[in-house]
A = this chain, B = another copy of it.
Amino acid sequence: MERKIPQATAKRLPLYYRFLNNLQHQGKSRVSSKELSLAVKVDSATIRRDFSYFGALGKKGYGYNVEYLLGFFRKTLNQDELTNVAIIGVGNLGTAFLHYNFLKNNNTKIVMAFDADPEKAGQDVEGVPIYSIDELEEKLKDVKVAILTIPAQVADAVTERLVNCGIEGILNFTPARISVPSHIRVHHIDLAVELQALVYFLKHYPLNEKEEI
């Protein structure tokens, strides 16, 4: 059944999950699609369609049951299973990730970091050890997800080593469009392109449209 959820819907799951989690912490037991829409900035028709894929049908004048939805999402998002993640490159961006408390919101955990600077190796940030990039093959082992925050010039060489270590997923923050075998999943976030896309939309698309990309 999970396989039938459209990818666009799947991408919104973590967002719904977080907001509903906050609601539950505030002691709320139900939520309307309109409230959700305002909070997560997705139109309510889309929310209702998304939720129908999960078999969650809102009731008129009542809305959705927060606990039911959370239970469903938790299962769907595999919240119960912890995924270990490695940071590759402890510059400003890598350090930002190390300070970012991912565990507060979901079950991913940064367990180690690597850097080419010998001065950084041996240190730790927020309890996460930093190893020399020379130790990549030795230390990475069970970690299957990596966040790439290294200079673009070394992205290809380091990616090749990650692939040889058996990495399965890479969140690529370098401007480089890295090449991987097709069984490895790469999500690419290029900060310059994100900024340019915003500026482009500002200039060319009329406001008041309220869509979000």
Contact = CB atoms under 8 A, between A and B. Distances in A.
Contacts of A102: 192, 195
Given A92-B99, A97-B191, A185 B207 contact: yes
B41 A78 contact: no
B197 A11 contact: yes
A13 to B, nearest CB: 7
Contact of A171 (B13, B194, B211): B194
A163 B63 CA distance: 32
Nearest to A200: B77
A138 interface: no
B177 A85 contact: no
Interface string A90-130: 01110111011010011010000000000000000000000
Nearest to A204: B2
A41 to B, nearest CB: 6
A14 interface: yes
B83 A191 contact: no
Contacts of A59: none
Interface in A145-190: 145, 147, 168-169, 171, 175, 177, 179, 182-190
Oligomer copy total: 2
Given A41-B177, A188-B41, A183 B208 contact: yes
A60 interface: no
Nearest to A85: B195
Contact of A185 (B18, B168, B195, B202): B202
A108 B194 CA distance: 11
Contacts of A195: 85, 102, 106, 108, 145, 147, 171
Interface of A: 2-3, 7, 10-11, 13-15, 18-19, 38-41, 77-78, 83, 85, 91-93, 95-97, 99-100, 102, 105-106, 108, 144-145, 147, 168-169, 171, 175, 177, 179, 182-205, 207-208, 210-213
6 contacts: A7-B213, A10-B204, A19-B177, A91-B96, A97-B191, A108-B192
